Structure 1
Amino acid sequence: MKKILLIDDNEQDRMLYKRFLGKQVGHERIEIHEASSGKEGLTLFAAQKPDCVLLDHNLLDTDGLTLLGDLKRLAPPDALCVVMITGGGSETLAVRALNEGALDYLVKQQFDRELLRKTVMHAIEKNEWRQYVTRYHGQLQAVNQQLRESLEELTETRQQIQEKNAQLTIANEAIRARNQELAATNQQLARTNIDLDNFVYAASHDLRQPVHNLHGLFDELRRTATFHDPEAAQMLRFVDDSLRDLTATITDLAAVVQVARQPGEQKAEPVGLADLTADVLQTLRPQLQTTQADVQTDFSALPELLYVRSNLRTIVLNLVANALKYRHPDRPALVRVRSNQLADQPVLEVADNGLGIDLERHGSELFQLFRRFHPHAEEGTGVGLFLVNRLVQAQGGRIEVESQLDCGTTFRVFF
């Protein structure tokens, strides 16, 4: 349905236009509204919002060009469809009307039914096309604005990425330089450790013979010399104890260095814990007989352990030997050795009822070389726990310790 507004103060002309237009133009039905003055035309235009206005130039209360300007102010931009009609054919008037916004121009008495219908339909289609183009341009402008904003965001993001990349490049260069420094430091430390191990190994090896000679000399001195000092026997005993401690220290140092000097990656193998522990207890038979210790074993939860056999033997030997060495003088020594699996991780546990350790005081020193926490106890060099911890950590394991003074200590080795 198309609405057409006739603004003409001549009733006969309006009747003629209505008869020419009829009730349908092409495939479109039409609805015609009439105004006999410019004022009435403005009121109907605002109320009906017609698709096309047939505007007579010569009105009693105004002229067509003036009314055309008033209609433009009521209509949205580029949405006014006006066909100007005048009684006199003036090209100047036609140009002015078209310049002021009219879409076409007709002269009274010079058009018929067909021309009027075609002119009106052409003006309506032209106006609709113009509105479509305006909407399309608006959409294009909105899209272009979005594209410009997206481009600005992309540009800003690209700049931020470039800045981040520059920062990352600087950071990577710093990390690379730091890694090179660390690699050089590690190489230097490795060389230093090798040199220290070689020195300790050579020193411990070279000191064996002089200490052995001292043993022989003091034995010969004790056998051949006559001492009148009543404290001579005690002094000789002190000398024997000192030589024995020195020999043990040299032996333990050699053992520590020997572990570090083991060539390449040693082969792990399934090791039966019961057989290995029996071998260790056979080695410690003199200490077991002296202390009358009760050693209880339970390997039912984990009978075998995949490990380097010699290293595992050293671990078990030192932990059990420590339990015997630091037994409590007021009760028989009890040592429990067992294995189990905790969270898919094999664990070896050695627990005793000995002297215990003050972990709050000595916990940070527990695995350091030459640390002893019971000087009054049986002789020791403070190397055993250092060696055990070194062997365990070398394979990615760890040791947990629970201890209470005068109650005992439990070592858990997580392999």
Structure 2
Amino acid sequence: MTQQRTVLIIDDSPEDREAYRRYLLRDQTHHYIILEEESAEAGLAQCQKLHPDSVLLDFRLPDLDGLEFLEELSHQAGDQAPPVIMLTGQGDEAIAVRAMKLGAQDYLIKGRTSASDLLFTLNNVIENAQLRRELQQRKAELQESQQFIQKIVDTTPGIVYVYDLKEQCCVYINRGITDVLGYTADQISEMGATVLKQLMHPEDLQRVPEHLQQFDLLADGKTLEFEYRMHDAQGNWHWLWSQEAVFKRNASGAIQQILGIAIDVTERKQAEADRDRLLEREKAARAEAEAANRAKDEFVAMVTHDLRAPLNAIQGWTQLLRSGKLDAAARIQALETIERSTRNQARLIEDLLDISRMIQGRLELEPGWIDLTAVVKAAIAAAFPAANTKQIAIAPVLDNSSLTLRGDANRLQQVLGNLLSNAIKFTPEGGRVDVRLAKLGNRELEVRSRETDGRMGGSYAQITVTDTGCGIPPELLPYVFDRYRQAQGLARQGGLGLGLAIARHIVELHGGTIQASSPGEDQGATFTIQLPLTAITPEDTVE
């Protein structure tokens, strides 16, 4: 299939224009829309109006010469200017250099340029311009993604910092330092290499060298903990607990920078001072705090990896694209990888935002009348490509009767999407996922009502998603809907382990329930959703 490209020829010589036209028509790979102008002013107007893919520009024109044209084009169009190939009857290298500095992409000599030379140069110039535009777009997307992550870091409770071992100072610290110690990030930066000496308790400062030495034996991805005292801007001492990991190594493999997150544990330390009076309560609180810290440790390490991995892929392929050494197939692979990484990172960030909204009680629905059958079909259609890749069959059995309720269709599709995604993720190739949608009968409603102490009256729709995957160990079943549970128990399969927690919250906002069951490991799992149905009255249809 030939590619269509628009080429603007600006030349006051009809013979030269006709020659270029014949050259372009010889190209069997591309279809050219050829525009012609005799003057620079008319050519500039065409550039502004039609945005051609490339311009063949004669150096000597009746109104402006080629260099003046390039200056005016740059002034009018800036970065959006089309690529220009300068054509002249003179072989003046000085003019060629000036033209290239002013934005020309190449320089050809009339009378010495064959059709193949012109086509080769033109196609290279157009492809390079397209590649530059794509790179600019990807760079903008990367910057936007980085800014988004920066916002997440800045709003993270506690202090997030990067400490440089060589410079002995913080090269980054988030806004949490102001909330905890009352200093601004600029004040910490001004302290430079004296930051620990100025803020840390002398007794704890003596333990810092020993703590740092432990990083020499620490594998990447592992973390160390450290407790110490720092005084705030008013001179009050605070106990801080930090978790730190290797962030960057130099060319020789030595640790250069450490990434840490610190929280204020002053109250906990004060409670420990009263352990004689509150010993039993302290033991229970300590066990709970350790469990919470373990969950946080694993989640922080996982977030660091899962957010950084797409960025690494984007950055690596962007550098390869910028080098210009990739062939067409590799460029396509690069762009597909960048796009896929961007989508993955957006999905991870959206899960984090949903969890944040849940914690703050701000995850809201946009209710409307829903055809539940249509919602289930849409979720199955969205999951089909992933299932097809692993040759997993999705077998739907859907009730054809009217199943209508008042709720948020997009959020319910998100719930089913999470369940189907997990089923496909944890099911081996060639497996099967069954999706059933049915309306509960009277006898089923009576049983369900007894199970829930009579709290569920009326009609309910039941959705079940059953897979033939790895199953769920019995000891983990009570916790599958807890946040971050994947990091603590299930095999690491990608994602942050937040999907089921989000799904339960959305279902409960609709007045329904969600449950998980599994015969055991390697025996598959079933997730069951029950949602209250709502009959549509004549008044509702007028809405």
Q: Which of the two has greater helix per residue?
A: 1
Q: Establish whether TM, by shorter chain, passes 0.5.
A: no
TM-score (norm 1): 0.40
Q: Which gives a bigger RCO, structure 1 or 2 (Cα 8 Å, sep 6+)?
A: 1
TM-score (norm 2): 0.31
